[in-house]
Amino acid sequence: MKVLVTGANGQLGQCLQELAPQFQNLEFTFCSSHELDITQQSQIEDKFSELRPDFCINAAAYTAVDKAESESDRAFLINETAVGYLALACKKYNTSLIHVSTDFVFDGTKNTPYQETDAVNPLGVYGQSKLAGEQRIQEILESFYIVRTSWVYSDYGHNFKKTMLRLGKERGAVSVVNDQRGCPTHAIDLAQALLAIVNAKNHKAVPYGIYHFCGNNEMTWYSFAIQIFEEAELKVAVTPIPTSDFPTPAKRPAYSVLDRSKWDQTF
């Protein structure tokens, strides 16, 4: 089967490239934003016409949560309009779309893990643009996989783990928010999950729709930072602080733990 991966240079894209050699039955084409600009519908058409992929994993996204507040046009262009272009191409070429979304589609007012059927209510532009992308897919396609995830980290790109390790080494002490709860997700685990969809032996038995996939451990950013330093064997003083002490342009959900039981039962 042919698998087209967008956003190949992002942390998820690089993890997918790392895993690709393990899947000899799959023929991958990895495209960075320079090789395939998904905001250009003509480039998508050319690529799909050339490859005629069986699957398209969309790992391309605008993910700068705070910057999105002042770059809403750019965020919606990449996270909604471009996603619509991909969905139209998938419909035309009978390609199964696997799209990655986010816990930020929720407002964080629950205190139990969010299920796929829970009401969405994003707090900021990033979440709004990602939700709009989900909605575009559902308007265009009857068959799709939308995988919502949370707190993604890896050894690639920009993420909380790498930021903590850098600050810990530079300063020896950090202050970290302790009143936002979520589930850190290693990008390698997320990549394996997406490839499990592609590699399912009988896709008729794997229902299309929205799935939640995240790490199994619920924690705060503060407790996550402590774990990061412990595993790196770094002695860093970590001080817990409330969100109010660390104001950001974008408001974040206080609780964004995802319930992944539907995923576990299916895969």
DSSP codes of every residue in 203-250: GGGS--EEEE---S--EEHHHHHHHHHHHTT---EEEEE-GGGS--SS
**CATH number of the structural domain spanning residue 94:** 3.40.50.720
In a domain? residue 38:
yes
What local confidence, expressed as pLDDT, does residue 5 receive? 98
Spot the catalytic one: 62, 85, 114, 126: 126
For the residues 152-164, what does the mean pLDDT come to?
Answer: 94
Q: What are phi and psi of 154, to 5 degrees?
A: -170, -170
Average pLDDT taken over every residue of the chain: 95
Judged against a pLDDT cut of 90, whether residue 261 lies above it is answered with yes
Question: Residues 121-147: pLDDT tens digits?
Answer: 999 999 999 999 999 999 999 999 999
State which H helix or E strand residue 177 sits in: strand 173-177
Q: Is the dihedral of CA 104, 110, 115, 118 positive or negative?
A: negative
Judged against a pLDDT cut of 70, whether residue 117 lies above it is answered with yes
For 120, the token pair is 């969405």
- DSSP assignment letter at 21: G
Spell 198-217 as b/e; 16+ CB within 10 A means b.
Answer: bbeeebeeeeeebbbbbbee
For the residues 142-170, what does the mean pLDDT come to?
Answer: 94
Helix or strand or coil: residue 184? coil
In a domain? residue 225:
no
Judged against a pLDDT cut of 70, whether residue 206 lies above it is answered with yes
209 and 145 Cβ atoms separated by less than 8 Å: yes
In a domain? residue 200:
yes
> CA–CA separation, 139 vs 110, rounded Å?
28
In a domain? residue 245:
no
Closest by CA to 242, choosing from 175, 174, 177, 181, is: 177
Residues in Cβ contact with 253 at an 8 Å cutoff, skipping those fewer than 6 apart = 103, 104, 106, 107, 108, 109, 123, 180
In a domain? residue 226:
no
Question: Is the pTM for the entire model greater than 0.85?
Answer: yes
Domain count, the chain: 1
Domain that holds residue 111: 2-159+183-217+257-266
Closest by CA to 89, choosing from 34, 142, 47, 31, is: 47
Judged against a pLDDT cut of 90, whether residue 48 lies above it is answered with yes
pLDDT > 90: percent of the chain: 93
In a domain? residue 176:
no
In a domain? residue 117:
yes
For the residues 216-228, what does the mean pLDDT come to?
Answer: 96
Q: What are phi and psi of 98, to 5 degrees?
A: -115, 110
Question: Residues 71-87: pLDDT tens digits?
Answer: 999 999 999 999 999 99
- Told to judge if 126 belongs to the known catalytic residues of this protein, a careful annotator would answer yes
What local confidence, expressed as pLDDT, does residue 201 receive? 58
Closest by CA to 130, choosing from 116, 111, 149, is: 149
267 and 197 Cβ atoms separated by less than 8 Å: yes
pLDDT band at 159 (very low <50, low <70, confident <90, very high): very high
pLDDT > 70: percent of the chain: 98
In a domain? residue 193:
yes
Which residue has tokens 């990061």? 228
- Comparing 172 with 99, the larger pLDDT belongs to 99
For the residues 142-169, what does the mean pLDDT come to?
Answer: 94
130 and 122 Cβ atoms separated by less than 8 Å: yes
